[in-house]
Amino acid sequence: MDGGTPSQSQTPVNEEEPNGIVMVILVGPPGSGKSTFCEAVITASKRPWVRVCQDTINNGKTGTKVQSLEAAADALIKGKSVFIDRCNLAKEQRTDFMKLCSSHTDIHAVVLDLPAKVCISRCVNRTGHEGNLQGGQAAAVVNKMLQNKEAPNMNEGFSRITFCQNDKDVKEAIKTYSDLGPSDKLSSGEFGQKSKKESVQPSIMTFFKKSAREDNRQKEKEGNNSSGNVSGNEFPTLAFPSISTSDFQFDLDKASDIILELAQDFLKRVDNVRLALVDLSNKSRILSLVREKAVKKGIDSSRFITFVGDITQLYSKGGLRCTVIANAANWRLRPGGGGVNAAIFKAAGEVLEVATKERAGTLNPGNAVAVPLPSTSPLYQREGVTHVIHVLGPNMNPQRPNYLENDYTKGCKILRDTYSSLFESFASVACLERNKKQKLVESKEKTSGESKNNEKREEVKQRNWGSWALALHNTAKDPEKHKDGLLEISDNLIVLNDLYPKAKKHVLVLSRLNGLDCLEDAKREHLPMLRSMHSAGVKWVNKFLSEDPSLYFRLGYHSVPSMRQLHLHVISQDFDSPSLKNKKHWNSFTTAFFRDSVDVMDEIEEHGSAKLTDEKLLEMELRCHRCKSAHPNIPKLKSHIVKCRASFPPHLLQNNRLLSASNNDILEQIS
Catalytically active residues, by annotation: 567
Q: Rounded distance, CA 636 to CA 643, Å?
A: 11
Non-local CB neighbours of 658 within 8 Å, separated by 6+ positions: 552, 553, 554, 573, 648, 652
Non-local CB neighbours of 277 within 8 Å, separated by 6+ positions: 240, 241, 242, 259, 286, 287, 290, 304, 305, 306, 307
Q: Residue 55 burial (CB < 10 Å; 0-12/13-18/19+)?
A: buried
Non-local CB neighbours of 21 within 8 Å, separated by 6+ positions: 76, 79, 80, 81, 82, 104, 105, 106
H/E segment holding residue 561: none
Reduced DSSP (H G I as helix, E B as strand, rest coil) percent helix, strand, coil of the chain, to 5:
45, 15, 40
Burial 160-177 (b: 16+ CB within 10 A, else e): bbbbbbeeebbebbbebb
Q: What amino acid occupies position 360? A: A
Distances (CA, A) of 232 to 238, 276, 302, 314, 648: 10, 10, 10, 11, 51
Helices (H), 559-615: 583-590, 597-607
DSSP output for 178-210: HT--TT-BPPPEEES-PPPPPPPPHHHHHHHHH
Q: Rounded distance, CA 212 to CA 208, Å?
A: 6
Distances (CA, A) of 44 to 76, 183, 185: 20, 16, 17
* Torsion angle (degrees, nearest 10) of CA 55, 60, 61, 67: -70
Query: Quick one: which of 73, 67, 56 has its CA closest to 21?
Result: 73
* Torsion angle (degrees, nearest 10) of CA 115, 121, 123, 125: -160
Is-contact 58 234, C-beta < 8 A? Answer: yes
Is-contact 550 642, C-beta < 8 A? Answer: no
Handedness of CA 480, 481, 484, 487 (dihedral sign): negative
